[in-house]
A and B are shown apart, each in its own frame.
Chain A
Amino acid sequence: MTTTPVVTTPLVVQEAQGPGRGLSLLKRLRPSRLIVNIVLGAIALFWLVPSLSMMIISFRPAGLFELSGWWKVFTAPSQLTFQNYKELFTGGSSTVLGGGVPSGLAPGSVLDALRTSLEISIPATFLVTAIASLTAYSIVFGRWRGRNAVFLTIVGLMVVPLQVALIPVASLYKDMGSAFGWNPFGTITGVVIFHVAFGLPFGVFLMRNFYTGIPTALIEAGRIDGAGEWTLFRRVVIPLGIAAAASLAIFQFIWVWNDLLVALVFLGGDPHVPLTLFLYDQERTLAANFWIVSTGSMVSIVVPLIVFLAFQRHFVRGMLAGAVK
């Protein structure tokens, strides 16, 4: 997923209204409410079709994939099976999977891959959120000249595609190894650093635009009272900015969780690979064996989906600027 800048304009806001208040206007619309329900229901059903196809394919025997469309399962429900999942997790001696998959938490197993993915995604998400918040604070509430120029530069960096950084950063890591004795290439830390850096431009953009909705007067008052910047950041801005931080965290988590290229290039021959690499290894070289991809995708979306559901309340509110009183 390419990161995109999201801007929240400081809208004129009272308390976050929510649909409750607006509905009073809509009581007059009861007849068209039925139509809306039907239309949206149809759209939701139609929208679900591709996701549904992936799900169904993962529950169908692998060989059927090329022979008949997945919708045939509705007329032949006996086709459904857990076989693909079983093979993914236990690596059986099937003709459709690659080299035997270790079970349990052994390196190279699915569970180990899930753990490695978490080991990469959680720090990357936390660090981006933290550093972006700090940077945004400095840009919005700092009192130094050139803040806007720095902000524009950071946001401008969003256009840099990460492919161009792969090899320069690899050689940078090597130079670090010669200079400091620690070469991050081939380590999970190296991958995390890369993801954090590339998540920052968007992160700073988002947090900065949220922070502009916080009245500067609040900060000024705190300063006059003798509070240091760090205290102000911790006590005032962070709590007010939790919602925006949650939204950033969701995007960042999903993007890092689904990344393949950076892990492929930077994790070298490490036996602990993230889930994306694990699934990649199961595919045939020439043409994706789609049942593996769909089964793997079903497994892979569980964690981001949980993250999304958990944060989604904050997420909606987070897009608002300044629900502040």
Chain B
Amino acid sequence: MAVVAVDQQHGPARRSARRQGQHHLQSLVFLVPGAVLLLAIVIWPAIATIRYSFYNATATKAVGLSNYKSLFSTADTLIAFRNNVIWVLVFPFIVTVIGLVFAVLSEHIRWATAFKIVIFLPIVFSVTASSLVFTQIFQLDPHVGVMNAIVQTVEDYFHPPGAYPLSAGQTAASLATSGVVAGPNGTLESGLEVRAGGTVRMGLTGVNPDTLTVLGARPARLPTPSAGAVTGLVWRDFSVSNPSNVSGVLPGEDGFPNLHLALLRSDGSIAATTTTDAFGRFIFSNVGAGPFHIQIQASNFTQGFSGTFWLGPQSLTPTSSLSQTAQALLSVPLIDISMILAYLWIWAGFTMVIVAAGLAALDREAQEAAHVDGATEWQTFRRVTIPMLAPVLTVVFVTMVINVLKIFDIVVNLGIDTSQPGGQSSTLASDVYYLGFGGGVHTGLASALAVMLFILVLPAMLFNLKRISGK
């Protein structure tokens, strides 16, 4: 009361100045809890990190700038930096566009909320769980991984595997044993020539007996020669009890059924074709004068689809002939793309919901005016809606840029090995994690990397903020 009386004495100007002082103080007090927490838990460790970046691996000895020097001189950092660049160039743009498309289209359906829930659901899962789901999806084995199962179905339709597909790294030539030599273009040929009435014995190894069993193979049997015909046997020339015996047809050695053969004239042209029976026997009837060679066609050995290594480090750009530095900078490993796909699945819902909110807030009068003026839906969208959404789109975009510069959790979970420092999918933040906490701890280097991360993110932050403060 006395205060008021005094103020009344001094007039309204004085009174409002004092009030201002009180408000000033009160609103400053509001800062205290946040400031205390941030200083203790965030700012103090950040400063400690900057300090450690000038120390050695166990943070016991100051080493000046040497951590930064080694950062800039090893290929590891270049690789991490390149991956961050790939992420920044690809992900924010696509996720924003997807969010926009979903937000706009979902306005036209009655089940918009259900749709939004489906798209937003991935964020509710932990990144670890989502990464495991995608590890399964990207599995190499087509029996387990969905992606490769789909690709295999398509591939095998267009390029069906042969009856005896080669295993990885195996050549048809390596199958040749007795009486067989390698032919051109992945074929095999009989070593000796044969004429009408003759018999050829062609021994092959390198094929699993179970494969033969599945095809109905029976123990190999020599065919009886037939006048005017060329007969022969193709059999598995490997005996368990006598592994070194080559060329004898021993008991326990099965014939090769369903093998496509061709009768070659001496000029290499094909006179006839046939297939072996369950005992491995074949016959070319009514052949002319020889001499002939028997050809085992390459199509028998066509490999099936073995799976794309989606989480692998192979580069989509042809960089294998370049120098190490150039490779580090210019490769685009397939695993990056796979990870970006997984990350899109997780984050598209976020951008969609924000853009949807922005859409909902739009003043529709501008669009109605455009329609009245005769613009089509697409023109209205492009010339009116999008510019009005520009602030929201920019914000979403830049937000995702920052998110992606710090990208770490999915990198570490979706390709544990390729994300190790120096690995093809590593990023700056994953390097910080491994060097700071992984198997080989180097506190100094990890801190220097973290500082570099701080510095890189700042421009994006400042740009974001300028746009906002400017409004």
Contacts and interface: CB of A to CB of B under 8 A. Distances in A.
**Interface class of chain B by DSSP:** helix
A160 B432 CA distance: 11
Report which residue of B34, B450, B471 has the largest number of chain A beta carbons within 10 angstroms of its beta carbon: B34
B316 interface: no
B361 A197 contact: no
B450 A19 contact: no
A212 B437 CA distance: 41
A139 to B, nearest CB: 8
A40 B113 CA distance: 12
Given A138-B28, A159-B458, A19 B360 contact: yes
B267 interface: no
Contact of A14 (B109, B363, B403, B450): B363
Interface residues of A, number: 113
A285 interface: no
B229 interface: no
Interface stretch (B128-136, B189-197, B215-223, B233-241): B128-136
Contact of A6 (B114, B130, B395): B395
Contacts of B462: 152
Interface stretch (A81-89, A90-98, A226-234): A226-234
Contacts of B408: 2, 161
Contact of B364 (A25, A36, A223): A25
Given A197-B37, A198-B42, A228-B26, A293 B461 contact: no
A54 B133 contact: yes
Given A25-B371, A49-B146, A148-B469, A6 B399 contact: yes
B436 A7 contact: no
Given A9-B391, A13-B361, A137-B27, 8 more contacts: A1-B127, A48-B118, A163-B433, A164-B447, A165-B42, A233-B30, A297-B125, A305-B121
Interface string A1-36: 110111111111110111101110110110001001
Report which residue of B43, B109, B124, B368 has the largest number of chain A beta carbons within 10 angstroms of its beta carbon: B124
A269 interface: no
B464 interface: yes
Interface of B: 16, 19-20, 22-24, 26-28, 30-31, 33-35, 37-38, 40-46, 48-49, 102, 105-109, 112-115, 117-130, 132-134, 136-137, 143-146, 149, 345, 350, 353-354, 356-358, 360-364, 367-368, 371, 377, 391-392, 395, 399-400, 402-403, 406-409, 429, 432-433, 436-437, 446-447, 450, 453-454, 457-458, 461-462, 464-465, 467-469, 471
A118 interface: no
A319 interface: yes
Report which residue of B40, B105, B462 has the largest number of chain A beta carbons within 10 angstroms of its beta carbon: B40
Contact of A160 (B107, B133, B350, B454): B454
A141 to B, nearest CB: 7
23 contacts: A1-B126, A2-B409, A5-B464, A8-B395, A14-B363, A19-B360, A37-B108, A44-B114, A50-B345, A137-B30, A158-B461, A159-B402, A159-B406, A161-B429, A172-B40, A172-B44, A230-B26, A233-B30, A258-B125, A258-B127, A308-B120, A308-B124, A316-B353
A51 B121 contact: yes
B132 A135 contact: no
Given A2-B403, A254-B123, A29 B109 contact: no
Contacts of B134: 50
A50 B33 CA distance: 42
B313 to A, nearest CB: 20
Contacts of B471: 9-10, 212
- A-B CB proximity, top 9 nearest: A197-B41, A319-B357, A142-B27, A229-B26, A165-B45, A258-B126, A135-B34, A9-B391, A168-B45
Interface of A: 1-2, 4-14, 16-19, 21-23, 25-26, 28-29, 33, 36-37, 39-40, 43-44, 47-51, 53-54, 57, 66-71, 131-132, 134-135, 137-138, 141-144, 148, 150, 152, 154-161, 163-165, 168-169, 172, 193-194, 196-198, 200-201, 204, 209, 212, 223-224, 226, 228-230, 233, 254, 258, 260, 276, 288, 290, 293-294, 296-297, 300-301, 304-305, 308-309, 312, 315-320, 323
Contacts of B33: 131, 134-135
A258 B108 CA distance: 34
Nearest to A45: B118
